[in-house]
Amino acid sequence: MTLLAVERLKLFTTRSPWWSMLAALVVTIGFAALMAGTSDDTAPMDLAATQFGYNFGVVVVMVMAALAVTTEYRFSTIRATFLAVPNRTAALLAKTAVVATLGALIGAVAAFGSWGIATLITPEADLALDSPYAWRAVAGVALVYFFSAVIAVAVGTFIRHSAGAISALLIYSQLVESLVQLIPNVGDDIYKWLPFNVANNFVTGDPDPSARPVEFGPPPSTAELSPWWSLAYFAGFALVLLILSIVSANKRDA
């Protein structure tokens, strides 16, 4: 508990978490308001469309999580941390727990805020949370944010430099996975198993009978796993990456 409290204090004494929370909420909720405000008979508002901006929020959360680690390396405060807590594994796990929990809270507020503002703007739309798909499409965003933050902490621990870690996260999640589909013959098969595509399947997979058109809401995933197995796969990927990063941190100088 002491380690968690220390990591919480260190996180919130910097400006980046506050700005990240504000940016994530403004972007995701703002997109929901835009979708609701521009909906009509040809582009009706539905539950998935309320979460149109959730991928943009993921990006902000990953940047925040990476900075939580790389900033310590940049200013060498990580050395003081490891001197005070010789068990580097415990220190890094505490940091990961605090940052990922904050990411999940941001995801929950952003998702339900997006749903709420869309409900206010388009009260006539059917946005009820009355099915497993509906709850996954909204509440499930928090879980995706949680494990995305774990991945970002792991990458930050590996790379240690803010610009490098953030670039790697953004290029991979926003560009590389999509470009993989362009590989002849095997691209689509590989893409089905890439982590962020699989994570998206947890939120968008197995929709209710009134399934949205593909142009509304988060893009549908091509992953072939069931939604909950998709979350397990994404969580497993995040945990393996975290374990490898902790092993690396224990073998390298601070």
All residues at 6 or more sequence positions from 203 whose CB lies less than 8 Å from its CB, including other chains = 51, 54, 136, 137, 140, 141, 144, 218, 227
> Distances from the Cα of 103 to the Cαs of 39, 60, 149, in angstroms?
29, 10, 6
* pLDDT confidence band for 209 (50 / 70 / 90): very low
Q: What's the pTM?
A: 0.91
Q: Phi, psi at residue 11, to the nearest 5°?
A: -65, -45
- State yes or no: pLDDT of 214 exceeds 60: no
> Among all chains, which residue has been given the structure tokens 């209710």?
208
Count of H-run helices and E-run strands, the chain: 13, 0
Report pLDDT digits (tens) over 163-192.
Answer: 999 999 999 998 998 899 889 989 889 999
CA distance 104 to 146: 5
DSSP 179-243: HHTTSTTTHHHHHTTSHHHHHHHHHHSS--TTPPPTTSSSPPP---S-HHHHHHHHHHHHHHHHH
Domain that holds residue 156: 2-251
Q: How many structural domains compose the chain?
A: 1
DSSP 118-139: HHHH-TTS-----SHHHHHHHT
Which amino acid appears at position 184 of this protein?
P
Nearest to 70 by CA among 102, 41, 27, 99: 99
Residue 246, pLDDT score? 94
Q: How far is CA 107 from the centre of its chain?
A: 8
Report pLDDT digits (tens) over 215-254.
Answer: 566 667 788 888 999 999 999 999 999 999 999 998 887 6
Residue 211, pLDDT score? 52
CA distance 63 to 169: 8
CA distance 226 to 232: 10
- State yes or no: pLDDT of 4 exceeds 90: no
Element (H, E) at 158: helix 140-159
CA distance 106 to 22: 9
